[in-house]
RNA sequence: GGCCCGUUGGAGAAGUGGCUUAACUCACAUGCCUUUCACGCAUGCAUUCAUGGGUUCGAAUCCCGUACGGGUCACCA
């Protein structure tokens, strides 16, 4: 008679540690009541996905607001898909959003008492529990080749039976220990499967923190828990790690709901208490009238790097994500006049169940609102950082005279309702071009779309007069009065009413006069407050622009 | 295909049997303000809560069926 112990020994002779030793090595955490231990557990298989940021962010907030622990564990058990360096990149990108783990991987390395926090380095730990299950007869070696598995599946499909390695179709489950021993000694390749005691016709009920009670069929599949490469599958690694790392709240994407019964059965078999689960909705996108998951391949906004590159402040994205996560967040921001995410208490109860469509418009809205609350000095450093990475020419301009850029950023900021021009840093680059001579000169040469009702000679005279007589270095009303005076001298009506009452006695309206100035000075029909623009440009440059030979260029679509 | 989850306007959503002739926000539209644009302000935008049936004096809210959308059925996570 070959015992389970003997099989376990044959399979995993190198395992000497005991489960008890591990339990002692990773003791229960001593935290205040209600504190959540959460985690973000990415696979280092590529760039940081927007959905992952969402998941990571919420797990982070949950831990923070409950005075718990948030750790970052790298799930790299799929060695084939692992991309070197991507874990580091993930961690650094998360850090740019202020999401820095208390434990596990941080930008400055690995820390914490519950490590290693990288699954590929925990091989021995998993095997300790695999061996335990083996000894207890709760797991067994499976010698099926991929071809064998294909055959089983093909048979099931042909006979319209539920596919999978379970019950009567779990071929090697029925092997005797003698047979197992013989095949192991013979050197046949094996994996370890969990021996499920579940019944697919039974439903189990488990509580999801977001969705409430869920009734799902029990697991009856003998899932692989140890792959032929000696590493565990996700299912087993999750159960062991989250138990040993004392996670008490697992938040993950809703795609994990169907496999939760497997995890629950595993926890039960190991005699552990399962953590709470919260299955987060997935962020979707509308594609030809259909909702679908944000796709890495089709959607640029699926990659967090896209937003960073476009120059959305990380804070904006986070605010937007929180608005999708909790329906009451937006009202909270209005009530508190604040976008401080740390002050807002996130709750599962206010979470909607189906995946929100990613809405770039709304992101921009939040971003504009947020940036409007930042002064020039707050905006300058992140703007610089963005430009340095994404637009060297822009960066050079800023760096040459940061104070100048700060003034530009401060335009119309000093009032109760500041402008909301910028949703992202690249907007600043576009909007500030005319302030820089090297960008303005070529435009000036091409000419501007002056209203055809004025001839060039008149425009020249008016602008020249304005250059000479307008007041510089004064407050706005004084300046504006000087402009009005000049306009009046050139037979512009001082109000639209006056003009309407007596159109023949005026050459045009004050609005039209202002447009001429605006075009000459900024090159566009729309611009921020002219007075502030002039004050930033300075008297000399303003005069130069106003006295530059007038070129009319009517079909400049870009002048808007 | 089996199973699971979901379905309130273009988008995010409030709503948990009567206070809903369905909040609020974005987007859109119009108007006011204004030296332009933006801001701000005002107004408009679901006679209806995927759909059919049922329970009830009364349903977006409870029950059943249908449709649609999403997810999942790997030695991937």
Ordered by start, the domain boundaries in chain A are 5-11+123-280, 295-372, 432-559
Burial class (CB in 10 A: 0-12, 13-18, 19+), A454: buried
Average pLDDT over residues A15-40: 95
C-beta atoms surrounding A260 within 10 Å: 20
Q: How long is the CA A379 to C1' B25 vector, in angstroms? A: 26
The complex scores an ipTM of: 0.93
pLDDT of residue A90: 94
Question: Nucleotides on strand B with an atom closer than 7 A to protein CB?
Answer: 1-8, 10-16, 23-27, 35-40, 69-77
Please, are residues A480 and A511 in contact by the beta-carbon 8 Å criterion?
no
- Tell me: the pLDDT tens digits for A351-376? 888 888 899 999 999 999 999 999 99
Tell me the CA distances in angstroms from A442 to A19, A384, A399, A449, A478, one per residue in order.
74, 25, 22, 15, 32
Shortest-distance nucleotide from A213 CA to C1': B5
pLDDT category of residue A507 using cuts at 50, 70 and 90: confident
What residue is closest to B34 (Cα–C1')?
A511
Q: What class does CATH assign to A5-11+123-280?
A: alpha beta
The DSSP 8-state label assigned to residue A104 in this structure reads: E
Q: Is A300 or A378 the better-scoring residue by pLDDT?
A: A378
In Å, what is the separation between the CA of A542 and the C1' of B75? 72
Straight-line distance from CA A415 to C1' B40, in Å? 12
**3-state SS, residue A226:** strand
Say whether A17 sits in a helix, a strand or coil: coil
How many Å does it take to go from CA A415 to C1' B32?
A: 21
Task: Provide the percentage of residues in chain A whose pLDDT is more than 70.
Answer: 98
- The Å distance, CA of A327 to C1' of B25, is 10
The architecture CATH gives domain A295-372: Orthogonal Bundle (1.10)
Q: Which residues are CB-contacts of A335 (< 8 A; sequence separation ≥ 6)?
A: none
The crossing angle, in degrees rounded to 10, of helices A234-244 and A123-135 is 100
CATH architecture, domain defined by A432-559: Orthogonal Bundle (1.10)
Using one digit for the tens of pLDDT, what is the confidence trace for A28-66?
A: 999 999 999 999 999 999 889 999 999 999 999 999 999
Tell me the C-alpha to C-alpha distance, in Å, between residue A230 and each of A120, A127, A181, A226.
10, 9, 19, 6
**Residue A259: nearest nucleotide (C-alpha to C1'):** B72
CB A445 within 8 A of CB A512: no
Say how far apart CA A383 and CA A391 lie, in whole Å: 11
Tell me, what's the pLDDT at A558?
Answer: 42
Of A57-66, A177-186, A391-400, A464-473, the range with the lowest mean pLDDT is A464-473
From residue A507, alpha-carbon distances to A33, A52, A480, A498 in Å are 77, 61, 19, 12
> Could you give the angle at which helices A314-325 and A50-65 cross, rounded to 10 degrees?
80
- Residue A554 pLDDT class (50, 70, 90 cuts): low
- Output the CA torsion sign for A544, A546, A552, A554: positive
User: Which nucleotide is closest to the Cα of A231 by its C1'?
Assistant: B75
Compute φ and ψ for A558, nearest 5 degrees: -75, 0
Q: What is the mean pLDDT of residues A376-404?
A: 94
Q: Is the pLDDT of residue A557 over 50?
A: no
Q: Are strands A69-72 and A103-106 parallel, antiparallel or unpaired?
A: parallel
Q: Write out the H or E segment, with its range, that includes residue A225.
A: strand A224-226
Measured from Cα to the C1' atom, the residue closest to B13 is A327
SS3 percent helix, strand, coil of chain A, rounded to 5, is 50, 10, 35
Which residue is nearest nucleotide B7, judged by alpha carbon to C1' distance? A354
| pLDDT of res. A505 | 79
Task: Please report, rounded to whole angstroms, the spatial distance between the CA atom of protein residue A465 and the C1' atom of nucleotide B30.
Answer: 39
């Amino acid at each position: 008679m070959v015992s389970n112990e003997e099989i376990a020994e044959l399979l995993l002779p190198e395992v000497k540690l005991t489960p008890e030793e591990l339990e002692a090595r990773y003791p229960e955490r001593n935290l205040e009541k209600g504190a959540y231990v959460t985690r973000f557990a990415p696979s280092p298989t590529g760039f940081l996905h927007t959905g992952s940021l969402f998941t990571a962010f919420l797990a982070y907030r949950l831990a923070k607001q409950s005075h718990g622990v948030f750790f970052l564990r790298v799930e790299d058990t799929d060695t084939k898909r692992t991309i070197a360096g991507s874990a580091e990149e993930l961690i650094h990108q998360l850090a740019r959003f202020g999401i820095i783990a208390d434990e596990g991987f941080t930008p400055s390395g690995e820390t914490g008492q519950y490590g290693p926090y990288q699954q590929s380095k925990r091989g021995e730990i998993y095997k300790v529990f695999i061996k335990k299950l083996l000894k207890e007869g709760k797991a067994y070696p499976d010698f099926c080749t991929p071809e064998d598995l294909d055959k089983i599946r093909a048979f099931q499909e042909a006979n319209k039976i539920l596919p999978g390695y379970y019950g009567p179709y779990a071929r090697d489950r029925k092997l005797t220990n003698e047979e197992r021993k013989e095949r192991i000694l013979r050197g046949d390749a094996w994996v370890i499967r969990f021996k499920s005691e579940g019944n697919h016709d039974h439903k189990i009920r488990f509580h999801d923190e977001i969705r409430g009670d869920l009734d799902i069929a029990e697991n009856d599949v003998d899932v692989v828990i140890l792959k032929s490469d000696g590493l565990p599958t996700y299912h087993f690694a999750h159960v062991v790690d989250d138990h040993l790392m004392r996670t008490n709240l697992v938040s993950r994407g809703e795609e994990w709901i169907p496999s939760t019964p497997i995890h629950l059965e595993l926890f039960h078999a190991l005699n552990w208490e399962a953590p709470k689960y919260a299955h987060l909705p997935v962020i979707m996108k509308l594609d030809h009238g259909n909702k679908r998951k944000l796709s890495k391949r089709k959607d640029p906004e699926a990659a967090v790097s896209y937003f960073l590159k476009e120059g959305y402040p990380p804070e904006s994205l986070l605010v937007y994500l929180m608005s999708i996560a909790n329906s009451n967040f937006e009202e909270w921001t209005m009530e508190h006049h604040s976008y401080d995410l740390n002050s807002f208490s996130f709750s599962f109860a206010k979470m909607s169940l189906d995946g929100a469509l990613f809405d770039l418009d709304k992101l921009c809205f939040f971003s504009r609102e947020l940036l409007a609350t930042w002064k020039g000095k707050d905006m300058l450093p992140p703007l610089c950082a963005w430009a340095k990475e994404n637009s060297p020419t822009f960066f050079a301009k800023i760096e040459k005279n940061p104070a100048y850029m700060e003034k530009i950023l401060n335009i119309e900021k000093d009032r109760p309702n500041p402008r909301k021009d910028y949703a992202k840093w690249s907007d600043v680059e576009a909007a500030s071009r005319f302030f820089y001579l090297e960008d303005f000169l070529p435009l000036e040469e091409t000419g501007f779309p002056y209203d055809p009702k004025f001839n060039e000679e008149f425009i020249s005279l008016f602008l020249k007069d304005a250059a000479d007589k307008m007041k510089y270095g004064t407050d706005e009303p004084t300046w504006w009065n000087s402009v009005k005076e000049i306009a009046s001298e050139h037979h512009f009506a001082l109000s639209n009413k006056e003009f309407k009452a007596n159109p023949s006695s005026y050459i045009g309206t004050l609005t039209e006069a202002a447009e001429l100035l605006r075009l000459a000075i900024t090159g566009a029909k729309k611009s921020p407050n002219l007075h502030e623009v002039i004050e930033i440009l300075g008297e000399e440059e303003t005069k130069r622009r106003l006295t530059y030979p007038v070129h009319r260029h009517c079909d400049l679509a870009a002048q808007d």
